[in-house]
Amino acid sequence: MVLITKVPRSARTDKLWRYSHPMTDHLPSQQDPASTVRDRRVSSWWRALAILLALLLFIGGATGLSLFEQFKTQVRHLQGQLAGKPQIHQLAVLLDAQQQPAMLVTVDPVSKLIQLQRLNQVSEGREDGLQLWALNGDQAPLSLGLIGRRQQTPQLPLDAAALAALGSATELAVSVEGKDGVPEGQGPSLPWLFRGPLVDKAL
């Protein structure tokens, strides 16, 4: 007696699929559509992150460049301020006959100027002039110019000869001359009105 068992249709279909499956192992498997959507979403997030990082790098670079330009502008501004300030290398306090401070003298070789400041109330007469001299031991005094009449803080320009004389001078002095000063080639009228040592300023 032979027993016949009825196999469900779905089971036969699965069996056929199992038999045919080894022959199709080399074929690419079909991806799950849901997995593909997830992959696309992940790729979109990576692209958005890359764009965000690029924007941050761009903004950071632009900010750094702007700060660098501001720094250069500030440096140029400070350099301009320093250039506009006197670069004092030598100074002298000239004393009167009573050994009281009468005049402050500062030498700026960069601007090639001598700045003078009166420290007392002594002023020249209508026909008089005050003349500044550089002294160096027994050498003949060298005129540095006629001081501006009745100016509280007069200035004198320095030429090459005056700068060279100041480099070796030990004292500065002021004499009373005619209102036009001493003619070239002549010495000062003595005694000195003011006189004091010339010292190098510590930088």
Q: What is the pLDDT of residues 113-169, one digit of tens each?
A: 999 999 998 878 888 999 999 999 999 999 999 998 778 889 999 999 899 999 899
pLDDT tens digits for range 48-98: 778 888 888 878 777 776 666 665 676 665 556 545 555 678 999 999 999
Count the alpha carbons within 13 Å of 11 in the hemisphere toward its beta carbon: 4
145 and 46 assigned to the same domain: no
Decide if 159 is inside a domain. yes
Do 163 and 109 share a domain, yes or no? yes
Quick one: what percent of the chain has pLDDT higher than 90?
35
Residue 133 and residue 38 share a domain: no
Query: What is the average pLDDT across 24-44?
Result: 53
Pairing between strand 101-108 and 113-118?
antiparallel
- The burial class, CB within 10 Å (0-12 / 13-18 / 19+), for 87 is middle
The residue from 85, 114, 146 where one domain ends is: 85
- Is pLDDT of 195 > 60? yes
In a domain, 19, yes or no: no
Q: Is residue 113 part of a domain?
A: yes
Same domain, 144 and 175: yes
Residue 132 and residue 118 in contact, taking contact as beta carbons nearer than 8 Å: no
pLDDT score for 17: 42
Domain that holds residue 55: 33-85
Residues 133 and 193 in one domain: yes
The tally of domains found in the chain comes to 2
Alpha carbon 43 to chain centroid distance?
Answer: 49
Residue, of 27 and 110, whose pLDDT is higher: 110
**pLDDT level of residue 27 (50, 70, 90 thresholds):** very low
Q: Are strands 128-135 and 90-95 parallel, antiparallel or unpaired?
A: unpaired
Determine, yes or no, domain membership for 68: yes
Is 20 a member of any domain? Answer: no
Q: Any bridge partners for residue 174, and if so which?
A: 132, 194
Span 109-116, average pLDDT: 90
Tell whether 81 and 94 lie within a shared domain.
no
Let me know: does 178 contact 128? Beta carbons within 8 Å: yes
pLDDT at 105 > cutoff 80? yes
pLDDT at 2: 45
> Tokens 């002023």 sit at which residue?
123
Compute the mean pLDDT over every residue in the chain, rounded to the nearest whole number: 77
Q: What is the pLDDT of residue 86?
A: 56
Tell me what pLDDT residue 85 has: 58
For residue 149, give the CATH number of its domain: 2.60.40
